[in-house]
Structure 1
Amino acid sequence: MERISLSNSAFEGDNNTYLFSDGPETVLIDTGDWMATTREQLESAFDERGLEFADVDRIFLTHWHHDHCGLAGEIQAESGAEVHVHADDAALVEGSDDAWEAMYDRQKEYFEEWGMPEENQAALLERMADGETTVETPSVTPFEHGETFSFDGVELEVVHTSGHAAGLSMFEADLEGERQVFSGDVLLPVYTPNVGGADVRVDRPLEKYLRALQGIVDAGYDRAWPGHRDPIADPADRAQYIIDHHEERSWRVLDALDRLGPCDTWTVSADLFGELEGIHILHGPGESYAHLEHLEREGTVVREGTDYRLADGVADELARTEAERWELEY
């Protein structure tokens, strides 16, 4: 297995595609972005190994985001490769008009629900329209959690990890005597993947993402191969770090409501992240919403229309917690 690093139009760092070419089959996990420069880079990497796109037999996609599946259609057109993706993401990857219209409609509903100002909505919708492309989309073979695939002496097992995206999945494999995992955007070495905004189809996104992270902690993988940047030598430690990060963010959300009083998601987002630009106009309130919704179900936050407030007694608990922190620090 070889990791090939590819540039992209996203902010998480270079994408990874993983190439298996030591046996009769040539297999890819993720394909990189749809940009022409990304295609050139992947073609060059193939050429250095005496391969071309026509040699690819199978493609496994971690999820529908274009920086992971962008070239799948073009590679399939040249090779006839079978493209596998989780059933929840299949329609988006295939470019179904109905699936994309439903996505856009849900996004617009959330923009209103979150209290996103009209000028920010316009900027975001313009950005998303600019990002639309006529890229060739593949036909796909859907998979489900727990399915296994074998090729060239390798067995991949699907681990469905919804949160960042509805169909986001990891692939477990025993490689070089180690239990390893191709973690896609579930586990990244630098950024914490967005939940709430990156895929508005996901119900209870933070709950599901935290469950996925706990699964990584419990699994005890020896190594993770992420969708972006460098391999992760201690996946459990990184997953626990992100769990703790979200715990801290929840406290910050509660603190914002304590200071600001009842307010909508956009106001909480502005308190957490400040002024946002580009795709972060979607990700900031999306992440804030994921936390507010999670806290509402835990009973620490109450929703009234589009506003949220602290549940009775929570302000006193926050004051006690802050006093305890102050004593520990000083």
Structure 2
Amino acid sequence: MDRISLGNDEFEGHNNSYVLEDPDGDELALVDTGVATPDVRDDLREGLADRGYEFADVDAIVLTHFHVDHAGLAGEVQDAGGATVYVHEADAPLVEQDPEETAALHERRRAYLDEWGVPEGPKSELLEFVDASSRLEGEPVDATPIEDGDVIDVGGRTLEAVHAPGHAAGLCCFELANGPETADDDTAFVGDALLPVYTPNVGGADVRVERPLEKYLTTLRTIADRDYDRVWPGHRDPITDPSGRATTIVDHHRERTENVLDVLADHGPADPWTVSAHLFGDLDGIHIVHGPGEAYAHLDHLHHEGIVELDDGEYRLTADDAELDLDHVVAADD
């Protein structure tokens, strides 16, 4: 797979922008573009130049989701040559930078920070970080919305959109139906649905997602069931055992659920910020929302399973020593 490695000191580490070139040279497409910073812009520009292209030559951009480290440069590339930008309909308003949708996202985040019990100091630090990060969004995009099951032809490839929510409401994998990458492998672009080193944040990464852990576990089951030979993630190197990696992440969330229950058992009723502090310690930057968001995702899941109850912002165990079948509670096919 032809990929351009893009610098990223802000979030999960090096991003990937995948270059899809029609064998006849008639069409050029990118999957994700990186964040709108000067260094990353240079990375993308130089990567295309090494292949004999410039921004204006890009005919199509496929975005796995709205996060700025994946979509930040899409508007600038589109402005240069009129590229069509495909993104799931749930994320399209955000990459278009629709003022109402953007304001609603920020307001929802502020409401959750209060609900999760985040103190004023860390909350102010997080909101300042978010405001400063707005420069990373780049230029607005004229988006072409897609949904689960849509098939698009870009860069000489046929891609099927596979909706994969959890980390983000509109996150999609894109399964390749043809091209040299599929000669020996069933493969897909997976964005942040599956990462080779980190486990994608759920709960804090996109506060629009209802029941974030349940949705992400379902996404992991979808990836495992499709039984790809390899996948191409939004960060770092290809994953050569996607089903195994998906299972490992399910196991990680089962263990995290156990840790959340241990916090409540050892320390009593707690809000997500307090649970996060026991799990992750001190937080700064974007992690001020990622930490309690992750704790919330697990507490919310346990609440819906009837294992904890919510009272005045705090979660408490429904029984002191409940015998829990976590294979059922944290199962990828819930």
Q: What is the TM-score normalised by the length of structure 2?
A: 0.93
Return the match for 2:81 from 79, 82, 87. Answer: 79
Return the match for 2:175 from 167, 172, 176. Answer: 172
Matched residue SS, 1:157:
strand
Contact 2:6 2:44 in 1 (8 A): yes
Task: Report the alpha carbon displacement of residue 316 of structure 1 after superposing the two structures with TM.
Answer: 4.3
Contact 1:8 1:35 in 2 (8 A): no
CA distance in 1, matches of 2:106, 2:45: 33
CA distance in 1, matches of 2:78, 2:155: 20
CA distance in 1, matches of 2:155, 2:205: 34
Number of the residue aligned with 2:120: 118
Contact 1:20 1:27 in 2 (8 A): yes
Number of the residue aligned with 2:15: 15
Number of the residue aligned with 1:327: none
Task: Report the alpha carbon displacement of residue 177 of structure 1 after superposing the two structures with TM.
Answer: 3.2
Instruction: Name the aligned partner's letter for residue 310 of structure 1.
Output: L
Task: Report the alpha carbon displacement of residue 317 of structure 1 after superposing the two structures with TM.
Answer: 2.5
CA distance in 2, matches of 1:115, 1:130: 23
1:119-139 C-alpha deviation (Å, 9 max, x unpaired): 111111111111112721110
Residue 255 (1) aligns with residue 258 (2): no
- The aligned runs of 1:120-139 (5 Å cut-off) are 120-133=122-135, 135-139=138-142
Matched residue SS, 2:134:
coil
Task: Report the alpha carbon displacement of residue 9 of structure 1 after superposing the two structures with TM.
Answer: 3.4
Task: Report the alpha carbon displacement of residue 315 of structure 1 after superposing the two structures with TM.
Answer: 1.9
Number of the residue aligned with 1:3: 3
Number of the residue aligned with 2:27: 25
Instruction: Name the aligned partner's letter for residue 85 of structure 1.
Output: V
Contact 2:307 2:317 in 1 (8 A): yes
- The aligned runs of 1:132-147 (5 Å cut-off) are 132-133=134-135, 135-147=138-150
Instruction: Name the aligned partner's letter for residue 223 of structure 1.
Output: R
Number of the residue aligned with 2:45: 43
Task: Report the alpha carbon displacement of residue 53 of structure 1 after superposing the two structures with TM.
Answer: 0.8
CA distance in 1, matches of 2:322, 2:47: 59
Instruction: Name the aligned partner's letter for residue 122 of structure 2.
Output: N
Number of the residue aligned with 2:289: 282
Number of the residue aligned with 1:308: 315
Number of the residue aligned with 1:317: 323
Matched residue SS, 2:232:
strand
Matched pairs, number: 319
CA distance in 2, matches of 1:241, 1:28: 29
For structure 2, the residue ranges without an aligned partner over 5 or more in a row are 327-334
Return the match for 1:108 from 107, 110, 118. Answer: 110
Number of the residue aligned with 2:159: 156
User: Bigger shift: 148-157 or 16-25?
Assistant: 148-157
CA distance in 1, matches of 2:170, 2:322: 40
* Alignment RMSD (CA, Å): 1.5
Task: Report the alpha carbon displacement of residue 299 of structure 1 after superposing the two structures with TM.
Answer: 0.9
CA distance in 2, matches of 1:110, 1:153: 43
Contact 1:163 1:205 in 2 (8 A): yes
Number of the residue aligned with 2:215: 208
Q: What is the TM-score normalised by the length of structure 1?
A: 0.94
Task: Report the alpha carbon displacement of residue 157 of structure 1 after superposing the two structures with TM.
Answer: 0.3
Number of the residue aligned with 1:324: none
Contact 1:9 1:67 in 2 (8 A): no
CA distance in 1, matches of 2:4, 2:27: 18
CA distance in 2, matches of 1:167, 1:234: 24
Return the match for 2:230 from 223, 227, 230. Answer: 223
- The aligned runs of 1:288-303 (5 Å cut-off) are 288-303=295-310
